[in-house]
Structure 1
Amino acid sequence: MSDDYAHCIWLRDCKQETIEEIQGQVKGTIPEWLEGRVTRNGPGKLQVGDTQYNHLFDALAMLHQFNISRGEVTYRSRFLESDTYLRNMKANRIVVTEFGTAGYPDPCITLYQKFKNFFSIPSPDKSMSDNCLVSVCQVKDEMFALTENAFIRKFDPKTLKTLDKVLLTNYVAVNLATAHPHIGNGGNIYNMGSSITNISGPCYNVIEMPMGKIENAKVVATVPCLRRMSPSYFHSFGISENYWVLIEQPLVFRVSKIVRGTVLSNKPPSNALEWLPGEKTHFRVISRATGKLIPTRYTADSFVAFHHINMFEENGQLIMDLCGTEDGESLNMFYVNNLKKLPNDSTRVLFNTNMRRYILPLDGVIQASVGHNFIKRTDTSCTAVKQSDGSVHCTTQILYPEFFEVPRINYKRNGKSYRYAYGASTKGNDLIFERIVKVDVKTGQASVFTENEFTIAEPIFVAAPGAVEEDDGVILSTLLNKANPLYVALLVLNAKDMKELARVEFHTKGAVTPTFHGQYVAVGEIFHTY
């Protein structure tokens, strides 16, 4: 990518990895108890030969790792050498279709082969990209790169060397799965996936992997799509002690377009994605005990959510916090042509996702009269009103009105009542993460860390040993220098006051690219969470 687009850090393109660890320069003091690895994943290469990806979600995946030991830190980076990566690099052009980019056809293919391919059923193992660029998940001593289809890629957690490929469809009935699993007690992993090839029609499946073992994966709940041939796009899901919640939003994949376009006409999956303005968003609440939908139907005015923050039960109500926006075109923000536009360009697509709360009543819904508002709390503006068709329509409370994304919490509070959420924010509704924000969900107060010369990454909370208070620990993030693509730093903040404890600076030979999500794994841990 040309230096002409230096104004947008997302457009960086790495041409040289840092495969061997390099030592960082520590400024400040790293807590003695902080011993482990931060592994992050994100877009590393937007251009292959003379071909360029159209969307940020298409770029070839790159892994980054900070190894913290005895007050010192090393850094390394490495491309995820997926089959997709190897095929593209061998051909020196994009040959595998991604979310927003169709693979360039082989110029040597014959007319007969085109005809034959048109009438053949594509194999997911050959036609689906395994470019897993969204997140990572370590299970005991194995680590995996995750994306939003049915592939995950195993890699060495110490060297970042790419290892085996796993197709979830070989174990459970899913065609797509989220890159945001939940880790339960004892290391069980839960995820949500879509099945568009189900014999009864498209549906959503909750997957359980006991002790994180993929070979033992099973479907523990199945929910039919409300829009039968238009399953919803979703990026994450909610979990509490007794429930899972899928937000079925009016951002949908048209199955007919997938068949006509993606399968038959070499169009990318984004071609099948459609926003249905004005249609309601539905909360599909599933009992973890039975695997069945609970009888009550919950709706809200149309919105889109990519990331759940936390969800918990309290006094017969389900309280759900998430990052949401009414802008159904928000994925268009990450098209490369939009990212290239200068900040003062009025045609530049932006969106403002904020931190919000919905409250869903669990008790007494059937007996209640039409028009009854179940929310009697004085500490919220949320409402949940029974409708004439028996459903409950919910309105939101904005917990933090400014841009708030890639949220994290103290994961020990996941599915439980909590107080603090941490997220990335921007200045002036821009496309660049420049602030780390801590929000007190009880008081609404926010604390902010920012520096003008740098961009930041998703904040990761790490609890201090023996911590009693929820925010007793540190925040780990990454700093990239806006003007110097060869600079990267690990940032360590005190989670209580958001003050800097340390930063560890590195200078690399190749451009350091930004990341989406990551995971901290402490030395000596048996089960690893987020």
Structure 2
Amino acid sequence: MATSEEHCVWLRNCKKETAKEVQGVVKGTIPEWLEGRLTRNGPGMLEVGDTQYRHLFDSLAMLHQFNISAGRVTYRSRFLDSDTFRKNTEANRIVVTEFGTAAYPDPCQTLYGRFKSMFTSPEKKISDNCLVSVCQVTDEMYALTETSLVRRVDPKTLETLGKVNLHDYIALNLATAHPHVEPDGRTYNIGSSFTSYKGPCYNIVEMPMGKIEGAKVVASLKPLRRTSPSYFHSFAITENYFVLVEQPLVFRFGKVLSGVFTNKPPVNSLTWLPNEKVVFRVVKRSTGELLPTHYTSNAFVTFHHTNAYEEGGNLVMDLSGTEDGEIVKMLFIANLQKDTTDKTRILYGSSMRRYVIPLNNVHTAATGENLIKMKDTTCTAIKQENGSVHCTTQILHPDFFDMPRINYKRNGKKYRYAYGVGTKGNDLQFERLLKLDVKTCKMSVFTEDKFTLAEPVFVQDPNAKEEDDGVLLTTLLSKLDPLYVALLVLDAKDMKEKARVEFKTKGKVTSAFHGQYVGAHEKIHAF
């Protein structure tokens, strides 16, 4: 019978990093123009001593890096040396509460000490285990998660350098790990603030050249559910607008606060409201002004936006989404451990979907009128009696599609190709790499038996003439050999393999969530 780690690579528990670079064996040919570093972030250590994390979002962070130069590639991995990592490993058990895992009580602590720790200030209890992504705009790289804490990392050695609390510079208590970077280095992110005198609000933040010290709020929105702000993992940006999907997956504010003092993990306060609607909050970038129209849709959940752009007086938005509000429960370790034949296993049904939001003639439209006049979409936007506009979706392809990436030079602009990962059957790991033509809705696939793949990162050929002139970089893990990792280089046009660089590591190689490629000759690094 297969072990749990063979059954699902997400369950790997790494105890030994590969801190010293190892040289890879190249099969095929790496393009001469491909020079730079691919850095990825994700779960690394699922168990500390005899204690185990309950959710995949909790695992101690591990950074992976592939350094590409002159047709050769090296690999290294390092644990993020966070305060959380040190506290847990020194205690040899989980002592810091994470998203889905409460800290285990100290058996040596007195009853009074345990009671007193319940009333430690919330800020001191926030974990700095930043395991979602990385961002380097100029010379500084940060490991990101969804709290206000980020960790600075040496982009060449992956050494952890310091900790920054965004809340010290800007009104944010939570922030996404998916900022947007403009060609001139301006960086935008969005997050929630719970400590403002105005009450809870969503703040959109601008950072010049990605520098946290220069951050400023450019727009502020009040949650529609004042005591239950929405959970969001990413947001959309176009040339003239920001778009926040306020979805009915919410944090019950009262449960969040009580959980801080009673050692309950934040996931306990996350609530799915299937009978409530999604509201698209559209903000003008030039003024920070919120458009007054409520654009709604039936309930769905999204983690990852693909792209958005303006066309013919409309805002077109593509994202990976699902109507299943229990999606977060899918990543509980207990669920990942279930056999594929187990009917109680919660599956991830995300697919690529499109919404079209009309920007013109909304107020003069008649009740019941479809404001979408575009001929190449089945999306509708129906004017309601109360003045709101209800939008329906177009599923661009029925297959599972998530971790979407694009040629980032098309970010916020009309585009044609999206790249992502897929699954086989009812598996919970990524075994297919996908290219979706959003114009024709045709899908191209790369897959290989007994291997899993990671989020694809598009790198444009410097002599590109077309949008998909370039390569896709992804990580290949063997289901059977936990010490094997490969950097896979695919031709983005036909999804054919150009090169594979294989490595043997010191410790088990874990799957990662998100990453960034930093070109050796770039001045501004985006995604």
Q: TM-score range by the shorter chain?
A: over 0.9
Aligned letter for 2:395?
A: I
The secondary structure found in structure 2 opposite 1:274 is strand
| 1:17 and 2:20 matched | no
Query: Offset at 1:109?
Result: 3.0
Deviations 1:204-224 (A, max 9, x none): 000110111111111110000
Query: Offset at 1:4?
Result: 4.1
| 1:283-294 to 2 correspondences below 5 Å | 283-294=280-291
Query: Offset at 1:140?
Result: 1.2
Query: Offset at 1:234?
Result: 0.4
TM-score of the pair, normalised by structure 1:
0.98
Aligned letter for 1:483?
A: L
The answer as to whether partners of 1:41 and 1:134 remain within 8 angstroms in 2 is yes
Paired residue for 1:270? Answer: 267
Q: Distance in 1 between matches of 2:272 and 2:452?
A: 30
- Percent identity between matched residues is 66
Paired residue for 1:228? Answer: 226
Paired residue for 2:166? Answer: 168
Query: Offset at 1:281?
Result: 0.6
Paired residue for 1:101? Answer: 101
Paired residue for 1:134? Answer: 132
Instruction: Call closer, same or farther: CA 1:95–1:71 in 2, change over 3 Å.
Output: same
The secondary structure found in structure 1 opposite 2:184 is helix
Q: Distance in 1 between matches of 2:122 and 2:200?
A: 19
The secondary structure found in structure 1 opposite 2:16 is coil
The secondary structure found in structure 1 opposite 2:20 is strand
Instruction: Call closer, same or farther: CA 1:487–1:115 in 2, change over 3 Å.
Output: closer
Query: Offset at 1:199?
Result: 2.1
Query: Offset at 1:427?
Result: 0.8
Paired residue for 2:482? Answer: 485
Paired residue for 1:343? Answer: 340
The secondary structure found in structure 1 opposite 2:213 is helix
Paired residue for 2:402? Answer: 405
The secondary structure found in structure 2 opposite 1:479 is strand
Of 351-360 and 99-108, more deviation after overlay is shown by: 99-108
| 1:427-446 to 2 correspondences below 5 Å | 427-446=424-443
Query: Offset at 1:259?
Result: 1.4
Aligned letter for 1:496?
A: K
Query: Offset at 1:377?
Result: 2.0
The secondary structure found in structure 2 opposite 1:94 is coil
The secondary structure found in structure 2 opposite 1:264 is helix
The answer as to whether partners of 2:137 and 2:526 remain within 8 angstroms in 1 is no
Paired residue for 1:153? Answer: 151
Alignment counterpart, residue 258 of structure 1, candidates 232, 235, 256:
256
The answer as to whether partners of 1:201 and 1:229 remain within 8 angstroms in 2 is no
Number of residues of Structure 1 aligned to a counterpart in Structure 2: 526
Q: Distance in 2 between matches of 1:514 and 1:111?
A: 39
Query: Offset at 1:296?
Result: 1.1
Q: Distance in 1 between matches of 2:79 and 2:108?
A: 28
Query: Offset at 1:115?
Result: 4.0
The answer as to whether partners of 1:403 and 1:429 remain within 8 angstroms in 2 is no
| 1:18-417 to 2 correspondences below 5 Å | 18-118=18-118, 120=119, 122-124=121-123, 126-260=124-258, 262-417=259-414
Q: Distance in 2 between matches of 1:473 and 1:168?
A: 35
Of 99-108 and 313-322, more deviation after overlay is shown by: 99-108
Q: Which runs of 5+ in 2 are unaligned?
A: none
Aligned letter for 1:175?
A: N
Deviations 1:338-365 (A, max 9, x none): 0001111111110210000000000000
Paired residue for 1:457? Answer: 454
Q: Which runs of 5+ in 1 are unaligned?
A: none
Aligned letter for 1:122?
A: S
Instruction: Call closer, same or farther: CA 1:5–1:66 in 2, change over 3 Å.
Output: closer
Q: Distance in 1 between matches of 2:116 and 2:515?
A: 42
Q: Note the aligned Cα RMSD (angstroms).
A: 1.1
The answer as to whether partners of 1:352 and 1:429 remain within 8 angstroms in 2 is no
Q: Distance in 2 between matches of 1:244 and 1:522?
A: 27
Aligned letter for 1:203?
A: C
Query: Offset at 1:106?
Result: 2.4
Aligned letter for 1:415?
A: G
Query: Offset at 1:232?
Result: 0.2
The answer as to whether partners of 1:93 and 1:104 remain within 8 angstroms in 2 is yes
Deviations 1:74-132 (A, max 9, x none): 000000010000000000000000000001122333333344444x46151x2100000
Q: Distance in 2 between matches of 1:109 and 1:507?
A: 43
Q: Distance in 2 between matches of 1:37 and 1:343?
A: 36
Q: Distance in 1 between matches of 2:345 and 2:117?
A: 39
| 1:422 and 2:419 matched | yes
